[in-house]
Amino acid sequence: MVQIDLLGGVGEIGGNKFLVRDKDSRILLDFGMSLGARGQFFSEPFLAPRDGQGLITLGILPDVHDLYRDGNQPAVDAVILSHAHIDHSMCISLLNRKIPVYCGETTLAILKTLSEMRQKGFENDLEGLEFKTFRTGDHIGFGDIQLEPVHVDHSIPGSYGFLIHTSTGTITYSGDFRAHGTKASLTADFVETAERSQPDLFLCEGTNLVRGDLRTEQEVLEKSDHVIKKTGGLVLASFSSADIDRLRTFHQIARDNDRILVVTMKQAYLLRALSKDKHLETPDVLHDPNLAVYQRTKKVYFHWERDILGETSVKTSKDIREAQDKVILASSSYDMNEVLDIQPGPGGAFINSSSEPFNEEMEMDHERFINWLNHFGLPMYQIHSSGHMMPTELRETIEQVAPKRLVPIHTEQPELYRLFVKDLTKVELGNKGSTIEV
């Protein structure tokens, strides 16, 4: 009998941790942080977690013997990462160093690069971890378990879903995925492979059940282009640092409108790291005339900041103040002090190209952010295409894969999910900490 412990990622968005046990073989699918649970206790910088034991005591991390750094015998044969988003990967910093971490090559590059830029601490420490990379079509054996990764399209490059072949049947795990993205064919490959394997169980994400908005990357391009064409002043655009598709979209708009896309130092550093992977077709941050890097005002720069500023075309707040109609500035709510220096003139725009606030904490951040926009006189446009399946796509996917059973994951609406697809498969709702059998 095969058992799956739902250690995180049920009844919540992210924090995925699914422990698959087949006789003596064990693998952990994703090791993500439950950001919601963590946020219930901690709010940085004033109250930050001190160590892993604290997170376990508070129930934010599962209490699994020998899974963490102080463990002896490895608790599992491997940790398998679907992609580099922190709600799927962050807890590997705390992992027992005898346990290898498997992920795609792009994921490994992103994890290492982001880790270099983040403040060091027990939640950001890849030192001593043994990474092994896989690609689509590989079959990796862990005793009775065989893992088959297949690429999917998501809002970060290098994302995978998995087929887990066990002694009692096949489990399919979606990771995070979408069917309306620029690389929809990757997801189609995964869905077809899953369909062929006639899975007994599908662990399938349902992030967007109450946030349906079917917009493609092409629509983001067209709508943003329309706004920017009619905007004579400064354009600010906010999008996730690791969303390379979105960066490519704004880069193209910049070129078409005779503007320069000015990215953050963090985005530039990540772009340079990913430029080695030719499949990703990342814009060339070192040479492209429509790309530059924003130099934040600060007294001391980190080594990686000096490194990237030394190699790229650099813009300061003064440069941007003097050429507001020639720039699209990638900036988030955290960059508002810089925008104070830039002093946006009339007729500008702020394009929010990330998800709208969906919890109380984000709501509060959002309200504070509106105060800044009020001060600057910048109207806000919400133009986004989600990294997750839309409800209609989800139904089509489940119908095609035709699993015998399905467990909704990565969703705050498991009951809605059940009712929505109960004619297609048998839906089981698992609680955090519960075990299901295959």
**Site for Zn ion, rule CB under 5 A:** 14, 85, 87, 176
Q: Tokens 């968005």: give the residue.
A: 13
Which residues lie below 8 Å from residue 221, measured CB to CB, with a gap of 6+?
249, 252, 253
Q: Smaller CB distance to Zn ion: residue 75 or 179?
A: 179
In the structure encoding, which two tokens stand for residue 38, read together? 């963590």
To the nearest whole angstrom, how small is the minimum distance from the Cβ of residue 206 to Zn ion? 11
Whole-angstrom Cα distance, residue 29 to residue 72? 21
Q: What string of DSSP letters covers 371-392?
A: HHHHHHT--EEE----SS--HH
Minimum CB–partner distance for residue 419 and Zn ion (Å): 23
Neighbours of 99 (CB within 10 A): 23
**298 CB neighbour count, 10 Å cutoff:** 8
In whole angstroms, how close is the CB of 204 to Zn ion at the nearest point? Answer: 13
Q: How far is the CB of 231 from Zn ion (least distance, A)?
A: 31
Q: How far is the CB of 37 from Zn ion (least distance, A)?
A: 14
Nearer to Zn ion, 87 or 245 (CB): 87
Residue number with CB closer to Zn ion (173 or 381): 173
Query: Please, what is the minimum distance in Å from the beta carbon of residue 159 to Zn ion?
Result: 7
CA gap 15, 409 in Å, rounded? 10
CB of 410 to Zn ion, least distance (A): 6
Enter the DSSP assignment of 410.
S
Instruction: Please state whether beta strands 145-151 and 140-142 pair in parallel, antiparallel, or not at all (unpaired).
Output: antiparallel
Q: 85 or 432: whose CB is closer to Zn ion?
A: 85
Which of 15/403 has CB closer to Zn ion?
Answer: 15
**C-alpha dist (Å) from residue 308 to 198, 292, 305, 358:** 48, 11, 5, 34
Closer to Zn ion by CB, 22 or 217: give it.
217
Question: Tell me, what DSSP letter sits at residue 294?
Answer: E
| Cα 164 from chain centre | 22
Which residue's CB is nearer to Zn ion, number 14 or number 408? 14
User: In one letter, which amino acid is 212?
Assistant: G
